[in-house]
Chain A
Amino acid sequence: MLIDAASWNRVSKLFDQFATLTPAQRQQQLADLELDAATSTWLQKLLAAHDSSDTRLLDQTLNQMAADLIGAQHADAGEIPAQISGQLLGHWRVGDAIARGAMAAVFHGERADGAYEQHVAIKLLQPGPYRHSESEQLREELRLLARLEHPGIARLIDGGISTQGWPYLVMEYVDGVHIDQWCAEQKLDRRQRLQLLLKVCDAVRYAHSKLVVHADLKPSNVLVNRDGEPKLVDFGIASLLREHQRDHQDSHADVQTGLLLRCTPAYAAPEQLRGEPVSTSNDVFGLGALLYELLTGARIRDGRTVTALLLGQDPDASIIMPSQRQHTLLPAGELRGDLDAICRCALAADPQQRYRAVDPLRQDLLNHLQHYPVSARTPAKSYLLSRWLYRHRLGAAAASAVMISLLAGLTVSIRQTELANANARRAQAVQTFLLDIFDAADPVANQQNPVLVNDLLRQQQEKLRMSTTTEPLLQQELRRTLASLQNNLGNHADALNIYQNLLAELPADASPEQRADLHNLIAGQYERLGQLQTALEHAETATELVPLADKVSDTSVQALRTLASIHSELRDNETATDSLEQALQYRDAILALDNGKALLGSLLADLSEKYGMLGDTDKALTTLAEARQWYAQIYPEMHPEQAQTDAREAGIQRAAGDFSQAAAASLRAARKSRQLFGAMHTQSLRDETALAVDLAYLKCYDKAVAIYQQTVARYRELFGENNLLYANALLNLASMRRKLDDHTAALEDINNTLSIYARHGEQATDMQAYALSIKAQLLFALDDSQQALQINTEALDLMRATVGEHHPQYLRVMVSQGHLAARLQQWELAEQHLRTAYDGLLQALGPESTFTRDAAIKLAQVYQSSSDETALQALLTKTGLNHDDLATAQASTENPQPRSQCSLPEPFDLSEFALTSS
């Protein structure tokens, strides 16, 4: 039976009034009042309790109960004695005390069996409610903590429960002083303090990637050794204690009192004080509190606030910003602006308003030190999980660890989201699920037999599908996560499969937004798979479900972007441009959304691309510049979105034929991506591929080959040899080698590529067709025209099935087909192919196109060779070609021009991308 505060307010006034009255008086007065049922019920109950002659608990004294409770704990472990020097705990011998607190004592310690010499710190915790059966569980958690191996974290070496019942932890001994003391002793200035804190951030970030939260960050838990290196102690101990405590609560949820002992009220995040489950967001707050103290010399909460907290009062009491304090260590001028904003964002009472992870906080500190704008100065807004994932799909640099970091980002974010929903059970389920992935993916554990990302994800997908215990909502979230991973890794068929199932399982009463969101995601996957008509249908469904005209929302804008992108793929850039321009009419409404600036920037960037394809380069570049202005307001220069903008600029310049500019922009994009994601990331590899394409246009084939060789090697390392991205990279390398006349090597690459495509079935049909057409060219160059013709026929058949008979790409392969037939003197077949191809190209690209012209010339040559003067004359009249044109073409086939020189603009430093030259 619960009552809300407002009703209580009413009821309590009436109770005070009625309590002193006699039953008769009450009856009478009650009749005059018209009370609602709930108020009346409560009032009656309270009065009945008030009148009751039963013994009330509160009327007894506590004395007997206290005696019962405290005396009953015979079996309970005793307190830790002051001196236990010499005692054995597992393999360890306890030495002198280092420090004693109310809840724990720390001692020097050493290896008891003399197996090796090791000086450690042993932390004994006040006996908690541990029983023997639980020691295994405790050990399990300790193993999790022992996984933390980072120079900034004091390592957990061992632990368990002693025979006396004391839980103990054996940790690396750190000979150092508290970070605040260090800063004071060394008289560190602002920069030095921030740099020290950045190291702390790195350690915390690392721990989060291993699913461990510190939950009690404060100066006394950050020790700085003589070399000035900070080390975090007591990692995860706070949450370890809390987990166990929670297990014992049964139905008695403990809201505030239990927690006060487990964290330090002066530093704890408000939600931590409210008793919500531990989350990474607690540590963001803790880092904010550390920052604050290092800047001001004062704690975020003063004595009176903490007293209020201890008394269970409002923990959200606002924190005085550093520059507003009367006494600070640093001049207020240095604190105003950036540092105030960073503190405010890290210490926000609402976790939603806080930095979402350690990384953005760390980035802001870096930005501040490097004089870049900090993101905290524009207010943090809440994003959907998927958007968040989008930004954090990216990991770190370590080669073999790329998938770990990919997963880690996700892991932390999911766990955090779950915890933010105060759903501890779901968080637990997610953690278990993701830990499984970790264990399977751990490159150290699996050195003999490294698991490939793809296999891993499929395993998890299967596991999820089979699992009946996971809650439906959680299942969906995990599956979406997997799909987004699959997408990032280029496994679009897998991603599509997941999204389709999610759509099919959507309940009948799902909102149009939910439905549209999934249709939009499905459309995106079909688009990437090259099945454009199906993609179009889904994108149209999505936009019809959430018309922009009805409501401007993230979903409606994203759906429209997808639709435009598909139209563009279908070579209908006019329609694409139209819909994007229409969307821009809602500029104000878009800007009012949480991620309005980002959305508007993306719309403009999309639009600029379309202008580029329509040949309006100036307009494209102006629009892109506008997009950049919006991005500049929300993203630092080193941001994935900024890298993508550079890549788009390259695309526009490439379409305009300015390959030097394109290459320069591609180089910028590739540099950013590499710095942001590391070399072993698909985004970096994509950008480097684009750079190689531009270099090829600049005829710098050898440089392009050098880059492709690297991308090929990296894709192989990441995904193994049976992967489509690897195959595509190999195909690029092959076509580049062909340009360098290295036909044999190219053919070998192509054959490898084709066997991979063949294993992927329909998913790879379009790429397969393209590869076959290149293979035909190679065979032709190697003088095997017969086989070339055969292969080219295969290519044609496949292409007809995928892109259709009117697609320029198909028609160009058909030109090759005709050319090959002519080489084999199959005049009739040659004429037939070239005629069809010419007519088609004329219609698709117009008479001016080089491709149309090329088809016409080849057709004319066939008429010449087969001495069909009438047809030749008719063709020449129609095309405006003359005999000289034909002669020139003939000459250039017979005596190919020497390869042109690479025309790389200077200075153009590629050293970081093409280290190995072929």
Chain B
Amino acid sequence: MATAVRLAASIPADNRDMLEQFPELYSTLRHIARRERRRNPSDTMNTTVVVNEAWLKLKHSSMQWQDEQHYLATAALAMRQLLVDYARRSAATKRTRVDDCPLFNNDCELNKTSSSILALDQALQQLEQLEPRLTRLVELRFFAGLTLPESARCLGISPRTANREWSRARAFIQTAMQS
């Protein structure tokens, strides 16, 4: 919690336009991601590029972002949301159980991916209750594709602390996803 307070402290109070930022950001991220997929259907997708492009686009939009760090924290959450929504949708369309998958079946890969993302989301929800900052760290690093030092800067903690917390978060998530 301390992090968010510190993070929030850098933002001037009563900026009304900020309130609508999340949906807009979500929408922008999705737009860019889908465009990327259409452009390079056979390639993998660089989510960091997506996040950065959204920043460039939004920086000059009517919405005022206080700073890039605030943007990144929100974008990481939006990215998590975006992928969870996609995973949920694909889980809803294809309900084949992972174990039933024959080899080399793309649908099964997809199902594994979506169930992994959904399981991760659930583990993050558990972690949120215990240590919210670790959740933020995972979002920044995994979903927004930031490096560890970048994530540390965004959260206002030392790289050493970030490193220790990353180990802890990773071990927790691994444990929670196995159970």
Contacts and interface: CB of A to CB of B under 8 A. Distances in A.
Given A3-B130, A73-B90, A310-B74, A261 B26 contact: yes
A179 to B, nearest CB: 16
Given A15-B168, A257-B81, A261-B81, A101 B23 contact: yes
B46 to A, nearest CB: 6
A99 interface: no
B103 interface: no
B46 A63 contact: yes
Contacts of B136: 311
A639 interface: no
B145 A68 contact: no
Interface in A43-73: 45-47, 49-50, 52, 56-59, 61-73
Contacts of A304: 8-9, 11, 13
A69 B113 contact: yes
B43 interface: yes
A261 B131 contact: no
Contact of B7 (A46, A250, A311): A311
Interface in A242-270: 248-250, 252-258, 260-261, 264-266
A61 B44 CA distance: 10
B18 A303 contact: yes
A574 to B, nearest CB: 61
Given A5-B130, A255-B125, A69 B171 contact: no
A310 B22 CA distance: 8
B33 A257 contact: no
Nearest to A71: B37
Interface in B1-34: 1, 4-5, 7-9, 11-16, 18-24, 26-27, 31, 33-34
Q: Of B16, B73, B141, which is in contact with the most chain A CB atoms at under 10 Å from its CB?
A: B16
A69 B23 contact: no
B92 A68 contact: no
Contacts of B9: 304
Contacts of A102: 20, 23-24, 26-27
A303 B14 contact: yes
A102 B21 CA distance: 10
Interface string B69-91: 01001100100110111111111
Main secondary structure, interface of B, reads helix
Contacts of B86: 69-70, 72-73
A637 interface: no
Interface in B98-124: 109-110, 113-114, 116-118, 120-122
Contacts of B80: 257
Q: What is the interface residue range for chain A against chain B?
A: 35 or more
A252 B121 contact: yes
A75 B5 CA distance: 42
A435 B173 CA distance: 44
B125 A103 contact: no
Contacts of B68: none
B89 A73 contact: yes
Given A71-B37, A72-B90, A252-B118, A265 B22 contact: yes
Contacts of A103: 23, 27
Q: What is the interface residue range for chain B against chain A?
A: 35 or more
A299 interface: yes
Contacts of A312: 77, 128, 132, 135
B129 interface: yes
Contacts of A129: 88-89, 92
A438 to B, nearest CB: 32
A69 B43 contact: no
Nearest to B33: A70
A302 B18 CA distance: 9
A1 interface: yes
Interface of A: 1-3, 5, 8, 12, 15-16, 19, 42, 45-47, 49-50, 52, 56-59, 61-73, 75-76, 79, 101-103, 126, 129, 131, 248-250, 252-258, 260-261, 264-266, 298-299, 302-308, 310-314
The 10 closest A-B pairs by CB, nearest first: A102-B23, A102-B27, A49-B174, A303-B15, A304-B8, A69-B86, A67-B45, A266-B19, A46-B171, A1-B179
8 contacts: A61-B47, A69-B110, A70-B33, A250-B91, A253-B125, A303-B15, A313-B4, A313-B132
Interface of B: 1, 4-5, 7-9, 11-16, 18-24, 26-27, 31, 33-34, 36-37, 41, 43-47, 70, 73-74, 77, 80-81, 83-93, 109-110, 113-114, 116-118, 120-122, 125-126, 128-132, 135-136, 138, 141-143, 145, 164, 167-179
Given A52-B174, A131-B92, 18 more contacts: A57-B116, A57-B120, A61-B47, A62-B145, A65-B83, A66-B45, A70-B37, A73-B90, A248-B92, A249-B88, A252-B122, A256-B125, A256-B128, A258-B85, A264-B19, A302-B13, A303-B13, A307-B8
